[in-house]
Amino acid sequence: MAEYTTFVLEEKEMPTAWYNIQADLPEPVPATLHPGTHQPIGPADLAPLFPMELIKQEVSQERYIEIPEEVQEIYRLWRPSPLYRAKRLEKLLDTPAKIFFKYEGVSPAGSHKPNTSVPQAYYNKMEGVKRLTTETGAGQWGISLAMACQMFGLECLVYMVKVSYQQKPYRRSLMEVFGAKVLASPTDTTQSGRNILASDPNSPGSLGIAISEAVEDAVQREDTKYALGSVLNHVLLHQTVIGQEAKLQMEKAGFYPDVIIGCAGGGSNFAGIAFPFIKDKFEGKNIRIVAVEPAACPSLTKGIYTYDFGDTAQLTPLVKMYTLGHDFVPEGIHAGGLRYHGMSPLISHLYHLGVLEAVAYPQNPVFEAAVTFTHAQGILPAPEPSHAIRAAMDEALRCRESGESKTILFNLSGHGHFDLAAYENYLGSNLPDFVYPEERVKEALAHLPVIA
């Protein structure tokens, strides 16, 4: 009998709690600091931005946090998501490796992002908030928050990074179908946006700039709070449904991964697949966990581990993270969701402790892997997870050389149906490869905040 390739769970097997890695860290994650006083922040400092339930999750040390039934009900629209063995890719690569992937592209938004937009909208609704602002890079997060806001009856305003607004017009349209208002960032409607436009009228925008605009907007209105699609502890927490399901599915497949791979922009899908397995690693399992980032925005592989702002206008608290500097504006690569100057404090901490590895690729080899994957498996991946595919394929090719039969698991965080302009450029040999120049690291250092 042919070996199975698809591993699905029943609805009742969907996780009912999120896994909080903070309960199992060998050392606690460094404190978040107030941008003015440089002292550790308390809940009151975050209250203008987030509802209290999310602030509690941000600092919680409880190992499991129950998923509210209203959130589970919406999760069930697409969860549990499938896990596949990429047998046709294995064959094409002629590798003894076994390649598995968890597929988050089955969500209504096409990515993993609704795993956190739904609970974020829910907790805001429960606390009487009427309107949410946010930023979006490639548009996946904006669509996800727009959908969640629609489902809970909240208004939604999205500051979309200008280069993506131009590259991915249909993601913008989908946000609008879900009822959100979308602006190309930098805008002239916020002070942060106007400051950027004054120094660079043609700014392509960046996630750091769009975050500044969304935060500035939210703090000015009583009825409004801000939602972030990555980076923060509570966002990574919500994504752990991915890894918890994957663990059960790998068990059903009869394999345990030797290597787990995910792309990392702010770190949320990577954390989602990896954290439940890192728990096993802390308990003695021998697994490698690899974050993959673009060579054009390599925060882990070329950044500095230090306190920095989460946004360009220095409005957010200071977090300790691997950063390229808060005023770094990456080149307009097509993996818009990976164009963030920093990295989640939790991922940064784990990388600093040596629990994780990281690797960076330019966009052409990434698109080459994406097209090969599409030929073999029939799924068109988004440019962001195509970074994970590149790394998984390289791992499998190394197995072909060594004869090892490793089990590789990667997260396919979203489909690329709205990224066809990027594929068109790749197929037309019109995709430049940007590599982050060393001198920019030094430049960024000069602008970092000095903490006494």
Ligand X SMILES: Cc1ncc(COP(=O)(O)O)c(C=O)c1O
Do the beta carbons of residue 82 and residue 8 sit within 8 Å?
Answer: yes
Q: Which CB, 121 or 235, lies closer to ligand X?
A: 235
Q: Which amino acid is residue 286, in one-letter code?
A: N
Minimal distance, residue 412 CB to ligand X, in Å: 9
Closest CA to 248 of 2, 1, 16, 3: 16
* Exposed / middle / buried, residue 133 (Cβ in 10 Å: 0-12, 13-18, 19+): buried
Do the beta carbons of residue 75 and residue 115 sit within 8 Å?
Answer: yes
> What is the number of the residue whose Cβ is closest to ligand X?
337
Q: Which CB, 95 or 269, lies closer to ligand X?
A: 269
164 secondary structure, DSSP code: H
Q: Which CB, 121 or 343, lies closer to ligand X?
A: 343
Do the beta carbons of residue 94 and residue 187 sit within 8 Å?
Answer: no
Axis crossing angle, helix 114-126 with helix 140-152, rounded to the nearest 10:
40
Q: How many CB atoms lie within 10 A of CB 201?
A: 8
The size of the chain, in residues, is 452
DSSP string of 252-277, one letter each residue: HHT---SEEEEE-SSSHHHHHHHHHH
Minimal distance, residue 49 CB to ligand X, in Å: 18
Q: Which CB, 141 or 277, lies closer to ligand X?
A: 141
Minimal distance, residue 31 CB to ligand X, in Å: 22
Residues 6+ apart with CB under 8 A from 39: 33
Q: Which CB, 312 or 413, lies closer to ligand X?
A: 413
- Tell me whether the omega of the peptide bond preceding residue 186 falls within 30 degrees of 0, making it cis: yes
Q: How many CB atoms lie within 10 A of CB 199?
A: 7
Q: Which CB, 217 or 384, lies closer to ligand X?
A: 384
List contacts with ligand X (CB under 6 A).
Answer: 111, 137-138, 140-141, 230, 263-270, 337-338, 382, 384-385, 413-414
Do the beta carbons of residue 422 and residue 367 sit within 8 Å?
Answer: yes
Minimal distance, residue 138 CB to ligand X, in Å: 5
Q: Which CB, 98 or 119, lies closer to ligand X?
A: 119
Q: Which CB, 137 or 204, lies closer to ligand X?
A: 137
Could you tell me if residue 307 is left (phi over 0), alpha (psi between -120 and 50 degrees) or otherwise beta? beta
Minimal distance, residue 73 CB to ligand X, in Å: 24
Minimal distance, residue 192 CB to ligand X, in Å: 21
Minimal distance, residue 394 CB to ligand X, in Å: 19
Do the beta carbons of residue 274 and residue 262 sit within 8 Å?
Answer: yes
Q: Which CB, 7 or 270, lies closer to ligand X?
A: 270
**Distance, CA of 209 to CA of 302 (rounded, Å):** 21
Whole-angstrom CA distances from 14 to 71, 76, 81, 111, 248 are: 12, 8, 9, 17, 10
Minimal distance, residue 280 CB to ligand X, in Å: 21
Q: Which CB, 158 or 399, lies closer to ligand X?
A: 158
**Distance, CA of 91 to CA of 84 (rounded, Å):** 15
Minimal distance, residue 335 CB to ligand X, in Å: 8
Minimal distance, residue 355 CB to ligand X, in Å: 17
* Exposed / middle / buried, residue 429 (Cβ in 10 Å: 0-12, 13-18, 19+): exposed
Minimal distance, residue 393 CB to ligand X, in Å: 17
**Distance, CA of 314 to CA of 338 (rounded, Å):** 20
Q: Which CB, 113 or 281, lies closer to ligand X?
A: 113
Minimal distance, residue 106 CB to ligand X, in Å: 12
Residue with tokens 């100057």: 341
Q: Which CB, 145 or 399, lies closer to ligand X?
A: 145
